[in-house]
Structures are given as structure tokens and as C-alpha cells.
Amino acid sequence: MIDLRDWSDYVKIEKNGTSKDLPIQLGNTIAVDGYVEGKEIGIITHFHEDHMGYLDDATRYEKILMTGTTKKIAIALKNSRKFRNNFKEMAYGSDTFTTKQGEKITLYDADHIEGSAQVLVEIDNKRILYSGDFCFPSADTPKCDILVLDASHGNSKLFNQKIDKKSIFRSLLDEITQRMWRKKEPILIVASRGTLHEIMDYLDKGNEDSFLVKDIPFISKSDEFVIRDALYGKQDERKYIDISSPEGNRIIRNKSKAIIFQTTLPSATNTDGLYRIMFDRYAAFHKESPFFEKNESLLRVNTLAHSSYDGIIDYVDAVEPTMIITDGSRSGYAESLSVDITTKFGTPALSLPR
């Protein structure tokens, strides 16, 4: 049984001015998804910018651990030898890394986006697990003593939707092919990294019933094509065009047929007035269809890259922690979630930073 009085020896999420998305400090030498002066080992849970944006500082770590997919993306984006030298690729569950102080690190599948990982640190006969961004029940559930828990959807009234991604993508492809046939104009798709590239790959390949003709080009920032190729392999049939290139500008300006992919909605650009398809998680959305606000200028698509509230609760039950810390640097629901968990399980839970 873990001594609850010493939990702070193993987990820290410390305030840093007005900064959000703070590093998760585990054990004695480890910092996850951020840079902490004096730590020896860095870990990147996945390639979203708010978790990987500190890479320029991270070269000061002795080693940076991540999955093979995340490493592939990091190298593709940075393309610098100094990053490769201290990157260490780890497979889910089977690979371990032991620090100089004897901390044993294992990565587990979080099923948030391709290559996303949970982090398990074993030290002093204690098991500390950081969930990272995760989806349950598809995420792994290693048992732990202390759980550091993502609270992104930690509100039962707002985030308890059932999402069927396969159905969403099929409906999306049908919607786009029909609109392209009617309008023959560019369509702008806005989604977060990971989801954006999954959509890009699906629309490129199509399915057994429907497909986009290959003469419809895809337009985006070159970095997004780099990520897409790293995840799914290069393709030669469809034309990929950088959005800042003269050709990209000309296609958008002339409103020629194309699919434009963005990670954020641009403001005051030449994409103004285009038909927009927005992928996001929408609070308190309970419709049977994943689509809403469908009109001639906008289609919202409800997606869920994080666990629902019920999924969070079931995940906590599955990993059987003795102590729970909710990450308050990445979610406004961390404090209320800690209260819910304490009430439901009788297990001590608190939100950090305080």
C-alpha cells in the first residue's frame, strides 16, 4: 500500500506564471510534455503542438522518449541531427528505459491520435501513471498506485457523447462528393493535428462505395503534408499544394475545385466565404447524427479525440489507483472531476497545480 503522505515526492505540476499546458514531473528526473530545468529525461506523449512545442529546449535533456510514430513526426518537422541524437523510440508495453536513478519507464497506448502514449514510471516499489490525452476503452490500462489523469472531458453534463468515427468519415465523404458535384468550389476543412491527417488520408483513399476523383487537389501548409506522409506513406496520384504557393493562392482566389486543410480557422484570409467543415468536440451535443449547423456556409462535425466523462470514470476503475491527481493545467474541469472521483470511489483525488 502506498503511503499517501509522500505522493508529492513523485508528482509535480507547478505553476509557471500564466503558462498553460504545464510539464508533468514524475519521479526524480523525468518531465513529460514540457521542459523543466535540471531534469534529465524528457518524454513526449504525442505530436500535438501543445505537447511537443518545447522541442527546441528539449535538446538539453539527456534523452527524449517517445513512440516510433511521434519520433517520425518530430524528425520530419525539425529535420535536425541535434534532435535525432537524443531521441529514443519506444514500443508500447514491451520496451523499457531505466534512468540513472533506477526509475523504470514504460509507454502504453493512449489511442488519442496515432502514436499517442501513456507514461508509467516505476520507482521505490511505486507505480506512477500519467494518462496523457487518452480514449477509453481502447486505451491500455496498466495498474498503478498514483494516477495523473487528463481531465479534458471531466464534466458529466457536457462530455458524454457516443461517437462512431467510421460512420462520421463515410458521411463526410458523401457530403463532400455531393457538394463538389453541385458547386465545384473549394471546401475548407478545419481540424486538430492528427484528426486532420486522418481525414486527409481517408478522403484521398475513399471507401468501397465512394471516392474523390484524383484531379481534386489538396491544399495545406507544407508541414501538414509532411505529417500526413510520415503517418500514412507518400502518395503520387493526388496533387498536394502548399497554401502559401502561387498555385495555391490562384486556386483559392479563382474558387477552383480543391480541399483546403487547416489546423486553425484562419482570420481575414483569401479563404473567407468558402464552405467550411469544422471538426471539434462540442459540449452537450447529444444528437444521433454527428453533423449539425449544416447550411450553405458551414458544417460542424462532432468528434471526440478524448475519452467521454463515463470513459474517464471507467478508466480510473480499470487502472485501480490508490491516489489520483487531475491535471488542472490542461482543463478547467480538473477540480470538479477530482471531487467526483473522490465521491464515487472513496479514493483520494486532487487537482494540480494548486
Which residues does residue 240 pair with via DSSP β-bridges, in sequence order? 218
- Which pLDDT score is estimated for 268? 46
∠ Cα 118 120 124 (to 5°): 165
- Which pLDDT score is estimated for 289? 55
Tell me which residue range forms the domain holding 52. 4-158+306-352
The answer to whether residues 25 and 142 belong to one domain is yes
- Which pLDDT score is estimated for 2? 53
The answer to whether residues 176 and 287 belong to one domain is yes
Helix (H, G, I), strand (E, B) or coil at 262: strand
The count of C-alpha atoms lying within 13 angstroms of the C-alpha of 302, restricted to the half-sphere facing its C-beta, is 21
The answer to whether residues 151 and 197 belong to one domain is no
Do the beta carbons of residue 32 and residue 330 sit within 8 Å? Answer: no
Report the number of distinct structural domains present in the chain: 2
Q: What is the pTM of this model?
A: 0.89
- Which pLDDT score is estimated for 293? 61
The answer to whether residues 146 and 290 belong to one domain is no
Lowest mean pLDDT among 40-49, 85-94, 263-272, 305-314: 263-272
Q: What does the alpha-carbon distance between residue 226 and residue 306 come to, in Å, rounded to a whole number? A: 24
Q: What does the alpha-carbon distance between residue 23 and residue 26 come to, in Å, rounded to a whole number? A: 10
The answer to whether residues 25 and 68 belong to one domain is yes
- The strand ranges marked E within the chain are 11-12, 24-26, 30-32, 41-43, 63-66, 87-89, 96-98, 104-109, 117-123, 126-130, 146-149, 187-190, 218-220, 240-242, 259-262, 275-280, 291-292, 298-302, 323-327, 349-352
The answer to whether residues 247 and 118 belong to one domain is no
| CATH assignment at residue 252 | 3.40.50
Q: What does the alpha-carbon distance between residue 188 and residue 190 come to, in Å, rounded to a whole number? A: 7
Helix (H, G, I), strand (E, B) or coil at 291: strand
Q: Which of 266, 269, 258, 135 is nearest to 200 (CA)?
A: 258
| CATH assignment at residue 126 | 3.60.15.10
Lowest mean pLDDT among 107-121, 143-157, 224-238: 224-238
The answer to whether residues 64 and 150 belong to one domain is yes
Residue 102 has pLDDT above 90, yes or no: yes
Residues 278-319 pLDDT 10s: 887 765 555 555 555 666 788 888 776 788 899 999 999 999
Q: Can you tell me which residue has the cell 503511503?
A: 3
Residue predicted with more confidence, 278 or 109? 109
Domain's final residue, options 278, 302, 326: 302
Do the beta carbons of residue 120 and residue 142 sit within 8 Å? Answer: yes
The answer to whether residues 153 and 185 belong to one domain is no
Do the beta carbons of residue 243 and residue 258 sit within 8 Å? Answer: no
The answer to whether residues 314 and 252 belong to one domain is no
The answer to whether residues 73 and 24 belong to one domain is yes
The answer to whether residues 247 and 311 belong to one domain is no
- Compute the CA torsion angle 340, 345, 348, 349 (nearest 10 deg): -30
The answer to whether residues 173 and 289 belong to one domain is yes
Domain's final residue, options 302, 320, 342: 302
Q: Which of 109, 102, 107, 111 is nearest to 120 (CA)?
A: 107
Residue 124 has pLDDT above 80, yes or no: yes
Q: Other C-beta atoms within 10 Å of 251: how many?
A: 20
CA distances from 329 to 63, 195, 197, 274, 304 (A): 24, 23, 27, 35, 20
